[in-house]
Structure 1
Amino acid sequence: MSRATRRVDYWQDPAAPKPTSRKTSASVFVRDEAGRLLLLKRVDNGLWTIPTGGVKKGETVGQAGVRECREETGLDVEVTGLVGVFSTPDHVIVYLHGDRVDEVRQPINICLRARVIGGEVAPEPAEATDVRWVPPETLDEYPIHPALRARIDHGLTESVPFID
């Protein structure tokens, strides 16, 4: 999708458009030694999120998570585990290019645990306007979509992977 594409997320909204596709994405749940969580502010909708993006042809879910984290934050990570698989039909994403709907997607997200092994925080301007290490007790201060917050909350409170 073009970087000029806008994204509108729906959550448990009966008026949301019907999905036209499903696509797998990988996200990474990264904490530092102090227990803070890596968040970035998305360019396409202004919401805070963990590094997330689509799995490309020819790569594994783990490779996608590592790549997306590097692209969006400048940090290199290694995968250490699984937060869960999130595929609820309650979450629908509409991608718009101008006023034209490009796609209406019901996502399938595989959220991975990861740790930083290198790099420096340097948000890619086309991906993120800000990258921060956020103490979990301050998460309510950040606008985070409910679907993403479910991943984060599970990662913070559970060691057994979530599957829906």
Structure 2
Amino acid sequence: MKHERAAGCAVVRETRQEPLFLLVRSRKGFWGIPKGRAKKGEHDIDTAIRELREETGISTFFVVSGFRTRFSYIHGDGEKRARKTVTAYLVKTHSVRAVISREHTAFRWVSYEKAMQMIAFPNARRPVSLAHRFLTTSRKTIALQEKVYTAVRRIPKGYVVSYADIARRCGSSPRTVAQILANNHDPRVPCHRAVSSSGAILGYNRGAKEKERLLRKEGVMVTHSRGRGSVIARSAYDRK
């Protein structure tokens, strides 16, 4: 049997009453999360973000760290029969309107209970079920993540900011900020622009060498001391 790799997002929009989940309906009439097949050489998170944009038109969103799950299902007949494994992430958005692709016929924002009724297959319910539980138990953590990622995305190219600076603006500790950035899934968040107070290159989930490469590419001066890279640049928050 052929194996296929795909990725998608459990998309959540907070309301005063309760969180609502975005479901899309396929041309075969099945409801589920936005998802799609991975391209060759594409990372799961890149696939998930691309498919979210292509299938819903939503471009403003926040990928929640600490949540990732997988589910599989069989589709097709005969020689086309295949097992598809989907990696799902949790995404929060403030967007209400979705512009669905030709692959789908409708979208709906629904409560968790309604989503469980609308999604026909138990394994396809897994991302929404686990996302709902994660939202319930990690609400404060998710809110802090969003603050930190928003702050980091405002750092311009060519500048770095210390974890301590970010922590002060987000009401947290430098250690917590470093941990949040180290666990980030979203490639749109330039975590490499955050450094220690001494300028040392630390806490990047793709490794110190990759962090140094990205900073050099953006024009940040990097010097080495005793084998550890130290970054020298003015804080973006100091620019007036």
- Going from structure 1 to structure 2, the CA distance change for 1:133 and 1:118 (only over 3 Å counts) comes to closer
Q: Name stretches of at least 5 consecutive residues in structure 1 with no aligned partner.
A: 1-19, 96-100
Q: Secondary structure at the match of 2:76?
A: strand
Q: Secondary structure at the match of 1:31?
A: strand
Q: Name stretches of at least 5 consecutive residues in structure 2 with no aligned partner.
A: 139-240
Q: What residue in structure 2 maps to residue 86 of structure 1? A: 71
1:36-115 alignment runs, 5 A limit: 36-43=20-27, 45-76=28-59, 77-81=61-65, 82-87=67-72, 91-94=73-76, 101=78, 103-115=80-92
Note the C-alpha offset of 1:26: 0.3
Pick from 19, 23, 27 the counterpart of residue 8 of structure 2: 27
- Going from structure 1 to structure 2, the CA distance change for 1:135 and 1:94 (only over 3 Å counts) comes to same
Name the Cα RMSD after superposition: 2.4
- The number of residue pairs the alignment matches comes to 131
Opposite residue 29 of structure 2, the aligned amino acid is G
Note the C-alpha offset of 1:134: 0.8
Opposite residue 156 of structure 1, the aligned amino acid is H
| Relative contact order higher in (CA < 8 Å, ≥ 6 apart) | 1
Deviates more, 1:134-143 or 1:34-43: 134-143
Does residue 156 (structure 1) correspond to residue 139 (structure 2)? The answer is: no
Q: Secondary structure at the match of 1:62?
A: helix
Note the C-alpha offset of 1:156: 1.5
The TM-score with structure 1 as length reference comes to 0.69
For 1:93 and 1:106, the matched residues in 2 are separated by 7
Bigger Rg, structure 1 or 2 = 2
Note the C-alpha offset of 1:139: 2.3
Pick from 122, 126, 142 the counterpart of residue 146 of structure 1: 122
For 2:111 and 2:46, the matched residues in 1 are separated by 27
For 2:55 and 2:64, the matched residues in 1 are separated by 19
The TM-score with structure 2 as length reference comes to 0.49
Q: Where has structure 1 moved over 4 Å in runs of 4 or more?
A: 117-120
Q: Do the aligned partners of 1:83 and 1:154 also contact (CA within 8 Å) in 2?
A: no
1:39-79 deviation line (CA, Å, top 9, x unaligned): 10011x21000001111124221111111111111112442
Opposite residue 111 of structure 1, the aligned amino acid is A
Structure with bigger strand share is 1
